[in-house]
């Protein structure tokens, strides 16, 4: 692990995003109707994302355990025929999907980018697990950091960031 002893604690925040695409129409319909056999897909995925952020240092070997002060995970349905998130070519989603955005805050000596990425990934994996019986060909796509604030190097934002 990198020594962060001498780093100044500051308020830190990171936002990450990603999305899950379905390869047939059944998962999006089950999610809309809240009739998936495993339960409320979006509710369970939201909690899974929050839990994943809190356990990030248990998953990523050299990641510091940090005192997270807040985690939010937003999940939005992408309907068939809507543009893929971040698609510059205007590519449309054929069978629907779920857009995921996680925001993590802390006051500490190291950033929370890994926690935000882990939150998005945990939510995406949960959606995959809950929908794989009706769509074994689900794709998790474009998981990335969009914004980070705080720390010695200051703020950073992706060219894809739009508030």
Task: Out of 25, 129, 155, 160, pick the active-site residue.
Answer: 129
Element (H, E) at 126: helix 113-131
Backbone angles phi, psi at 145, to 5 degrees: -80, 135
Q: 3-class DSSP state for residue 33?
A: helix
Contact partners, residue 20, CB within 8 Å, separation at least 6 = 97, 98, 100, 124, 127, 128, 138, 139, 140, 141
CB 66 within 8 A of CB 115: yes
Whether 25 is catalytic: no
Q: For residues 69 and 37, what is the distance between their CA atoms, to the nearest angstrom? A: 34
Residues forming the active site: 129
């Amino acid at each position: 692990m990198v020594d962060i002893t001498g780093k100044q604690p500051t308020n830190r925040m990171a936002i990450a995003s990603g999305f899950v695409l379905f390869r047939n129409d059944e998962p999006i319909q089950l999610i809309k109707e809240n009739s998936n056999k495993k339960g409320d897909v979006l509710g369970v995925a939201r909690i899974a994302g929050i839990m994943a952020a809190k356990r990030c240092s248990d998953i990523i070997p050299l990641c510091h355990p940090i005192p997270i002060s807040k985690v939010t995970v937003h999940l939005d349905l992408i309907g068939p025929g809507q543009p893929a998130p971040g698609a510059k070519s205007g590519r449309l989603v054929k069978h629907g999907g779920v857009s995921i955005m996680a925001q993590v805050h802390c006051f500490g000596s190291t950033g929370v980018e890994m926690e935000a990425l882990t939150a998005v990934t945990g939510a995406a994996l949960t959606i995959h697990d809950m929908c794989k019986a009706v769509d074994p060909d689900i794709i998790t796509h474009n998981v990335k950091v969009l914004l980070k604030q705080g720390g010695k190097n200051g703020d950073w934002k992706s060219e894809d960031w739009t508030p």
